[in-house]
Amino acid sequence: MPFYDLKCKCGEVFNKMASISDKENRRIKCPKCGSNELETVYLSVNVVKSGNSDNVRCPNIDRCGGCCPHG
């Protein structure tokens, strides 16, 4: 059975293992308010941040130790 990350209209986010027919027939209910008006969210998507891994090596690193104002 697939595992769903679900968000309720009340704001509750939870995950639930359920069959596809359970989901399509709205048989999954919010544990907080009992509503079946849920939307699927994807919490496990890896968010990769870019821009902070800028390891520009100083060309004079063996002379200056990497502390010269290169760049």
Q: Which residues would be at the binding site for Zn ion (CB under 5 A)?
A: 8, 10, 12, 30, 32-33, 35
Q: In terms of residues, how long is the chain?
A: 71
Task: Count the Cβ atoms, other than its own, within 10 Å of residue 42.
Answer: 7
The position carrying tokens 């595992």 is: 3
Q: Output the smallest distance, CB 37 to Zn ion, in A.
A: 8
Q: Output the smallest distance, CB 40 to Zn ion, in A.
A: 14
Q: Output the smallest distance, CB 10 to Zn ion, in A.
A: 3
Which lies closer to Zn ion via its Cβ, residue 8 or residue 28?
A: 8
Confirm if 21 and 49 have CB atoms less than 8 A apart.
no
